[in-house]
Amino acid sequence: MKIQGTKGLLLALVTVLMVSLLSACGGKDASPKGNNGTNSSNNGEAATTKDEITELSLFIDASWYPVNEWKGPIAEKITEKTGVKLKVTVAADDKQLPLMISSGDLPDLIFTSSQVTRLSDSKLSYPWNELIEQYAPNFIIDDTRKAIHTMEDGNFYTVRNSFATQEEMAEHKYAIGSDGNPGIAVREDILAELGNPSLNSVEDFVNVLGMVKEKYPDMVPLTMDKDWMEQYFIQQFGVEALLDGWYERDGKIDYAIKQPEILEFFKFMNLLYRNGYILAENFAYTNDQIDDEYAVGGKAFAHSHTVSVADSDNAKIKNNGADYSFKMLPSALSKDAKIVSSGLGFAGTFITKNNKNPEASIKFIEFLASDEGKKLTMFGIEGEHWTWNEEGYPNLNYDPSDADFVNGNGIKWWYLYNDGVTEGLQGYVPGTQKTQALLERKAITVYKPEIGLIQTEPDSEERTIKTKIDEMIKNEKVKIYLASSEEEAIANYESMLKTAEQIGLQKLVDWANETYQKKKDLFK
Amino acid sequence: MEVETKVSHSVQWSHRRAQFFKQLKKQRVLHLFVGLGMIFLLIFSYTPMFGILMAFKEYSISSGIKGIFTSEWVGLKHFNEFVSDYRFGEIVRNTLVLSFLKVLFTFPAPILLAILLNEARNLRFKKIVQTVSYLPHFISWVVVAGIAFSFLSADIGMINKALMSLGLIDKPMDILTNADHFWGLAVGSAVWKEVGWWTIIFLAAIAGIDPTLYEAAQIDGAGRLARIRHITFQGMKGTIVVVLILTIGSILGGGLVGSNFEQAFLFGNSINNSTSEIVQTYAFKVGLRDGRFSYAAAIDLIQSIIAVILIFSSNFIAKRASGSSLF
């Protein structure tokens, strides 16, 4: 009898285990928190409008995204205007979206920069042109933007934000760009102690690093953010694209690693390393905080990051109670400095085939694309966060470099549709170092968006070759930087070119030229 | 005569069948437990296997799950691409060298520690050593990589600072950023992290040895080393062989301590890439990041085939050499 009891218990246990195992497979519930409580102050009103509010799911394909919840005054205002609220998921890594696409598990909306060509596919997304025709006939998008995003099938599925044509940028002199541009800051106090040596060329900068190294042997002369190591210097040497980009000369397109000027850049980086001005392990940093610690902690003289690096380092230093400060190097440190903007924008929003309310979705985007919507997302609420200055820029009541305030209120990041001009105006704060650096950059920027049209199609042979070459460059370039002599650096550079040829660089370049010839007239 | 045999055969057979069901009924609880494991394997190991089809097809992620069946066959195209890749040799070498080095060092280490602990007479000391040595097992590799940075960094690393100030080295060691040091780093950190954990299983084997054997040996005049060699080690042999076979079976994943992928991914950087890139990280980067699932599947399949060959041959060798084997 007793034995039977034990057996019964065991049987029950096994059953429970089995059920829990099987249910575990499907038991992955989505986000636990709803958006309750955001409207707590005006309950009565919220109750009446609640039925009309459409909730759409949005996937943001950028793991670094600073906002991950639809809340704050901007989000509330957008919901008030459009009747749409978003249930936001931010990607865990850059492999999540490809996996979602392959499993067919798509949300209502996707905001992505890396999968734009992939999602511009009638199997996965609704064409905007069809939705606009059907539901939002007054939603006007200019021809350039349409042309950039129109695919082979004649449809366009998104329009990227952060894009402006050369004419638009010229028209708005206060639209100066955003934080996403390279810059270098140096310690003002140390510079003074060194007797304020001149800093008007790359050679001057190297000299100053040498003086720092000599006088402060415990300091690292230059620390670099892991994502902002090369861009500033590449531009100083007149290289017209980043290492994975294209440049144009005499109507012909070639890969940036083949531009003659790039060898000077490589030699320069190697020189920095050989003289002990940069650390080898800087190239092994896996997070973007280490360089900040060096700079803010007073262990580095120069800090390579973005145009806002001096402002943000100084704010942190002040918080820590230290008394030194950083100032930006000029954006053009040499007469060769050149910035070629071939960007077609940053990221675009897609209305997927799984979308449960395409009508509300396109109307939602229509609002974001309106003048009111663009200013609301970028600057905040008019009167509360900003007022319009007749000169042609917003007087912001906050510091746009104050990440806590900006992210906390959800300013900027709901730019699911926007443009380079409005976004560029948010960066204009008279008197800041960032604004100065951006103004200097704008002065030497040349716009060649037609180069940006050279984009490989998903699953194409060119895409495979390009990915492999880029991955190869990522590893081989470090061998050039860290070579023990200039001869070795040059030899490593040549061997990198050879490997690229071996992978199929020539084929890729031929394809790029063909594409370029076909598409370049779009901007004429 | 013939008929008789047939009848007796069928009687025997039905008798056996009845016995089989009787036994099955008797062991039904145990079978339920086995069933649970089998369902687990079926769902998580066998069902996903149909995805292998992808390796032979031109699969595009935008075609969804049904695309695995509907996309076009391309034969061995993806296998050819991997084999003719300019880094194929290097990547396979790194995978094999890292795997064999890890087995070579991480396999004997816990056996040695178990024997040493068994010989330790101070119970308190033994307990402390055991706890200290197995605790790192519970730290994840991501955290270990972070700790390694603060200990081994050439600029701010504690170890370099200590050695420099003691005057033992005059230049900081670039352990994290030198391709020549990656394998040592991987093996060393794996031993540190897992040795204590695997010691437990060998200590359990030692605990099963009859203590009278030691007493008898002592009376016969066997010294400490002789006792270790002839009694402790002999008593552990069965466990050692089973663990060895399991280790070899998963050798490309890093053997009993696993973690080849985690180490290559977390300790790997563009400076030590020439020794740290292994098949798994390569498949992850080239295959998944760009949505090239077919290519990634082909690469992984090649690795699985090598692993299957290794497990069968190690089982065969174990059977020949020691008489005990897994199957």
pLDDT digits (tens, 9 = 90+) for A359-392: 999 999 999 999 999 999 999 999 999 999 999 9
Helix ranges (DSSP H) in B208-282: 211-219, 224-227, 233-249, 260-267, 273-276, 279-282
Smallest CA–CA distance from B29 into chain A, residue = A11
**B293 Cβ under 8 Å from any chain A Cβ:** yes
pLDDT band at A524 (very low <50, low <70, confident <90, very high): low
Chain B residues whose beta carbon lies within 8 Å of the beta carbon of residue A25: 43
Residue A180: predicted pLDDT: 81
Same domain, B151 and B35: no
Output the pLDDT for position B94.
95
Strands A348-351 and A109-112: antiparallel
Contact flag A283-B269 (C-beta cutoff 8 Å): yes
Q: Does B75 fall in a domain?
A: no
* pLDDT above 80 (res A225): yes
3-state helix, strand, coil in chain A (%, to 5): 50, 15, 40
Q: How confident is the model at residue B66 (pLDDT cuts 50, 70, 90)?
A: confident
DSSP A457: P
By the 10 Å C-beta count (0-12 exposed, 13-18 middle, 19+ buried), B236 is classed as buried
Q: What is the pLDDT of residue B51?
A: 87
Q: Is B104 in the same domain as B243? A: yes
Nearest to A7 among B29, B39, B153 (CB): B29
Question: Which of A21-35, A329-343, B126-140 is predicted with the least confidence, judged by mean pLDDT?
Answer: A21-35
The confidence score (pLDDT) of residue A33 equals: 36
Mutate to test the interface with B, among A17, A471, A484 (most CBs of B within 10 A): A471
Look at B36 and A14 and tell me if their CB atoms are within 8 Å.
yes
CATH fold group of domain A182-306+456-523: D-Maltodextrin-Binding Protein; domain 2 (3.40.190)
Q: Does residue B96 belong to any structural domain of this protein?
A: yes
Contact B245, B315 (CB under 8 A): yes
Write down the pLDDT at residue A41. Answer: 39
CATH topology of domain A48-165+344-426: D-Maltodextrin-Binding Protein; domain 2 (3.40.190)
Amino acid identity for residue A362 in this structure: I
Within this chain, do residues B134 and B30 fall inside the same structural domain, yes or no? no
Best mutation site among A15, A102, A119, A277 for testing chain B: the one with the most B CBs within 10 Å?
Answer: A102
pLDDT tens profile A2-29: 445 556 655 565 555 555 544 444 333 3
Contact A475 B273 (CB under 8 A): yes
Q: Is B47 on the interface with A (CB under 8 A)?
A: no
Residue A401 in this model has a pLDDT that exceeds 70: yes
Structural domains of chain B, count: 2
Q: Could you tell me the end-to-end alpha-carbon distance of chain A, in angstroms, rounded to an integer?
A: 92
Q: Is residue B61 part of a domain?
A: no
A124 interaction partners in chain B (CB closer than 8 Å) = 62
Domain ranges of chain A: 48-165+344-426, 182-306+456-523
Using the beta-carbon criterion (under 8 Å), do A475 and B270 form an inter-chain contact?
yes
A123: nearest CA in chain B?
B62
Q: Do B110 and B191 lie in a common domain?
A: yes
pLDDT band at B64 (very low <50, low <70, confident <90, very high): confident
The H or E element that residue A182 is part of is: strand A182-187
Average pLDDT over residues A482-491: 97
Give the domain CATH number at B171: 1.10.3720.10
Please write the tens of the pLDDT for every residue from B141-198.
999 998 998 899 988 889 999 999 998 888 888 998 899 999 999 999 999 999 999 9
Q: Does B60 touch chain A (CB under 8 A)?
A: yes
Considering only CB atoms, which chain A residues are within 8 Å of B29?
A: 7, 10-11, 14
Q: Is the distance from CB of A379 to CB of A394 less than 8 angstroms?
A: yes
Residue (of A164, A184, A224) closest to A332 by Cα position: A184
**Residue B137 is assigned to a structural domain of this protein:** yes
Instruction: Compare A47 and A469 and report the one with higher pLDDT.
Output: A469
Average pLDDT, chain A: 88
Residue A223's closest chain B neighbor by CA? B155
- pLDDT at B208 exceeding the cut of 70: yes
Please state, in angstroms and rounded to a whole number, the distance separating the CA atoms of residues A283 and A268: 16
Answer whether residue A511 shows pLDDT above 90: yes
CB A280 to CB B177 under 8 A? Answer: yes
Strands A182-187 and A326-328: antiparallel
Task: Give the mean model confidence (pLDDT) for residues B120-137.
Answer: 93
- Nearest-Cα residue of chain A relative to residue B32: A14
Residue B265 lies in a domain: yes
What pLDDT, on a 0 to 100 scale, did the predictor assign at position A94?
82
Question: Which residue, among A95, A112, A281, A462, would best test binding to B if mutated, counting the most B CBs under 10 Å from its CB?
Answer: A281
Per-residue pLDDT at B105? 93
Q: Is B38 on the interface with A (CB under 8 A)?
A: no
B58 within a domain of the structure (yes/no): no
Comparing CB atoms, the residue among A21, A220, A283 nearest residue B270 is: A283
Angle between helix A461-481 and helix A262-274 axes, rounded to 10 deg: 40
Å between B87 CA and nearest CA of chain A:
10
Are B35 and B94 members of one domain? no
Contacts of B270 in chain A (CB under 8 A): 283-284, 474-475, 477-478
pLDDT class of B7 with cuts at 50, 70, 90: low
- Residue window 14-33, chain B: list those with CB within 8 Å of chain A: 29, 32-33
Residues of B in contact with A279 (CB under 8 A): 154-155
Tokens 């539901």 belong to: A135
- Judge if B126 and B195 occupy the same domain: yes
Strands (E), A265-390: 300-306, 326-328, 339-341, 348-351, 386-389
What's the domain range around B156?
Answer: 85-322
Whether pLDDT at A45 is above 60: no
Closest CA–CA distance from residue A200 to any residue of chain B (Å): 30
* B21 and B123 together in one domain: no
One-letter amino acid of A8: G
Q: Are residues B38 and B169 in the same domain?
A: no
Q: Which residues of A touch B65 (CB under 8 A)?
A: 102-104
A2's enclosing H/E stretch is helix A2-26
State the smallest CA–CA distance between residue B31 and chain A in angstroms: 10
Least confident of A25-29, A310-314, A410-414, B135-139: A25-29
Give B29→chain A minimum CA distance, Å. 6
Tens digit of each residue's pLDDT (9 = 90 or more) over A242-261? 999 999 999 999 999 999 99
Cβ–Cβ gap B29/A11 under 8 Å? yes
Does position A53 have pLDDT exceeding 50, yes or no? yes
Residue B5's pLDDT band (boundaries 50, 70, 90)?
low
Domain-located, residue B291: yes
ipTM over 0.85: no
For residue A523, pLDDT beyond 80: no
Q: Clarify whether residues B278 and B188 are in a common domain.
A: yes
A vs B, Cβ pairs < 8 A, gives 108
Least confident of A53-57, A184-188, A251-255, B17-21: B17-21
Backbone angles phi, psi at B281, to 5 degrees: -70, -35
Residue B49 CB burial class (10 angstroms; 0-12, 13-18, ≥19): exposed
pLDDT in tens, A157-166: 999 999 998 8
Residue A205 neighbours by CB under 8 Å, 6+ apart: A199, A329, A333
Asked whether the domain spanning A182-306+456-523 has the same topology as the one spanning A48-165+344-426, the reply is yes
CB A111 within 8 A of CB A349: yes
